[in-house]
Amino acid sequence: MSQNIQRVHRQLTDAERKVYQERLEQIEIDKPELLRQGRDLRAAHDALVEKVVQELADAKEASGMSLSALEEQTGIDRSRLSRFFTSGSNPTLLTLNRIARALGKEIVVTLK
């Protein structure tokens, strides 16, 4: 089922052009701060994931569970589990939770 969409192009009025230009200028002014905030958020995210992965690695070590056993418990293949524990991958919350549950742990998030 396809629809024909017709786009209408028109010239901006002087007032619209002025607003458009002002918004572009404001974006350029805000851009460095937004990029800095993005880098800060990424760094905080990476640090949090690294902490959770380390805690899961410690729990795995303490339990003595092999990658094969963890694979069986989680359904995540061994090579992916190995990368998870060694290479600083960027796992999803679902993956973190699957591994935590297999290790008898629970991920708890607290907002302050």
Query: Per CATH, which fold does 14-102 belong to?
Result: 434 Repressor (Amino-terminal Domain) (1.10.260)
Query: pLDDT tier at 2 (50, 70, 90 boundaries)?
Result: low
What does pTM read for this prediction?
0.71
Q: What is the pLDDT of residues 34-45, one digit of tens each?
A: 999 999 999 999
Q: What is the pLDDT of residues 93-103, one digit of tens each?
A: 999 999 999 99
Percent of the chain topping pLDDT 70: 97
Are 49 and 93 a contacting pair, CB within 8 Å?
no
Domain boundaries along the sequence of the chain: 14-102
